[in-house]
């Protein structure tokens, strides 16, 4: 019977992140810095909003596009934070996390053979979906440009088959962002071509030294851009599963057709909590970001002192150090650290076109754990 399965599904592999995390779990006494999940609790008043939804019997089907109150809150948040204007009634869909948002967007846009440009190394959740939707990944290796996509790289990659460009800034795993000027350069290329832009901005609130900029802020290409965002990383709400798409109404109308067959509706309880988060959660988000920044500075200082050359990330809660002074195989090196130093990190090989000789280290962990992990790595390198 196995030969009857969808061939594209059969050819997929389980995510390397999941595989590596399962391996790490088999070792005792490990300090693991692998998970891209805030170690903070969901802020108290956001949880109270969720509890109130239950007490007020908000436990039935919600509108398929999302509760009007949440869409209005999300619209206000985007306007307030990023100066992006989206009509809550016609340009926003609430999704089951941003994972669904990525899937429904690619399914809506792609026909067999369409090309999708992606700056790599990248989070491994895009390439399999591109394949499932009949598309063809066109990776651009940005390892040599400080993990930033340049206008020259983009112009060279666009062909007559290009349907979409996925921008993932702030970037998982690299922590890179694009400045307003860098985005403007890309926008000037995009406006010359009939292509869509999918801008996954889930880490937009975790930009440290300057405000987040969105590619959707340029009027010349706004009609081509689908922005994806949510509350998982910013508001410590990974388990609540709330994401959103923000796009012009003519795109949103098509997105809705796919969304309604993926989800009758999104959790009404989670939507109540997310609405409160968008409307009132900025203080708590800022507090968490300041703590991440302290951890970032500490971690990068320690890594660079050990010869693990690290570009200080401008966003997210990931560092992406090079191990080339010590090893050229990131998987082998990560296994050595696991077995001999009892430190769990992700090799760059688990990320799409992950580049060579790097590790992803999450600093969504306490200073105590970061310090212990770095002490173990330092001792291991001394003995190497």
Tens of pLDDT, residue by residue over 171-228, are 999 999 999 999 999 999 999 999 999 999 999 999 999 999 999 999 999 999 999 9
Q: Can you read off the two tokens belonging to residue 133? A: 């939707």
* Cα distances (angstroms) measured from residue 45 to each of 37, 40, 108, 211, 289: 20, 14, 36, 26, 18
User: What pLDDT shows up at residue 356?
Assistant: 80
pTM above 0.95, yes or no: yes
Q: What is the distance between the alpha carbons of residues 135 and 106, in angstroms, rounded to a whole number?
A: 9
Q: What is the distance between the alpha carbons of residues 36 and 70, in angstroms, rounded to a whole number?
A: 25
Burial per residue of 225-260, b for 16 or more beta-carbon CB atoms within 10 angstroms, e otherwise = bbbbbbbbbbbbbbebbbbbbbbbeebbebbbebbe
Looking at the chain, the domain(s) classified CATH 3.90.1150.10 span: 2-42+283-383
Looking at the chain, the domain(s) classified CATH 3.40.640.10 span: 56-281
Please give the CATH number for the structural domain made up of 56-281. 3.40.640.10
Domain 2-42+283-383 architecture: Alpha-Beta Complex (3.90)
Largest Cα separation within the chain, whole Å, is: 61
Rounded to 10 deg, the angle between the 97-109 and 249-262 helix axes is: 110
Is residue 292 within 8 A of residue 313, CB to CB? The reply is no
Three-state DSSP state, 18: helix
Q: What is the pLDDT of residues 131-179, one digit of tens each?
A: 999 999 999 999 999 999 999 999 999 999 999 999 999 999 999 999 9
Quick one: DSSP state of residue 61?
Answer: P
- Name residue 347's beta-bridge partners: 359
Burial per residue of 68-104, b for 16 or more beta-carbon CB atoms within 10 angstroms, e otherwise = ebbbbbbbebbeebbebebebeebbbbbbbbbbbbbb
Q: Which residue has the tokens 């966003």?
A: 315
Is residue 188 within 8 A of residue 155, CB to CB? The reply is no
């Amino acid at each position: 019977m196995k030969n009857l399965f969808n061939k594209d599904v059969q050819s997929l592999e389980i995510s390397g992140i999941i595989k590596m995390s399962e391996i790490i779990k088999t070792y005792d006494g490990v300090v693991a810095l692998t998970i891209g999940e805030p170690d903070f609790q969901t802020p108290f008043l956001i949880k109270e909003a969720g509890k109130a939804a239950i007490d007020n019997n908000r436990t039935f089907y919600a509108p398929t596009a999302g509760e009007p109150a949440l869409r209005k809150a999300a619209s206000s948040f985007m306007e307030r934070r990023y100066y992006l204007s989206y009509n809550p009634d016609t340009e926003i869909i609430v999704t089951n996390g941003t994972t669904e948002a990525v899937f429904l967007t690619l399914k809506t846009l792609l026909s067999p053979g369409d090309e999708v440009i992606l700056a790599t190394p990248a989070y491994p959740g895009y390439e399999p979906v591109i394949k499932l939707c009949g598309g063809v990944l066109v990776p651009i290796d940005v390892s040599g440009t400080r993990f930033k996509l340049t206008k020259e790289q983009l112009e060279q990659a666009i062909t007559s088959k290009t349907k979409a460009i996925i921008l993932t800034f702030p970037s998982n795993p690299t922590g890179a962002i694009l400045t307003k000027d860098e985005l403007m350069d890309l926008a000037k290329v995009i406006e010359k071509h009939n292509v869509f832009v999918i801008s996954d901005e889930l880490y937009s609130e975790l930009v440290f030294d300057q405000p987040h900029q969105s590619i959707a802020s340029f009027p010349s290409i706004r009609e081509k851009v689908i922005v994806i965002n949510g509350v998982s990383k910013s508001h410590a709400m990974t388990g609540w599963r709330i994401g959103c798409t923000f796009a012009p109404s003519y795109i949103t109308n098509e997105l809705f057709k796919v969304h309604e067959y993926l989800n009758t509706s999104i959790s009404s309880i989670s939507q109540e909590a997310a609405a409160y988060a968008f409307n009132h959660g900025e203080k708590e988000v800022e507090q968490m970001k300041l703590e991440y920044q302290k951890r970032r500075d500490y971690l990068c200082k320690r890594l660079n002192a050990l010869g693990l050359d690290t570009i200080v990330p401008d966003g997210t809660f990931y560092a992406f150090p090079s191990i080339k002074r010590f090893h050229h195989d990131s998987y082998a090196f990560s296994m050595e650290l696991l077995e001999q130093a009892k430190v769990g990190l992700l090799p760059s090989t688990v990320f799409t076109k992950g580049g060579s000789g790097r590790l992803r280290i999450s600093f969504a962990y306490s200073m105590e754990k970061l310090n212990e992990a770095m002490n173990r790595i330092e001792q291991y390198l001394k003995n190497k």
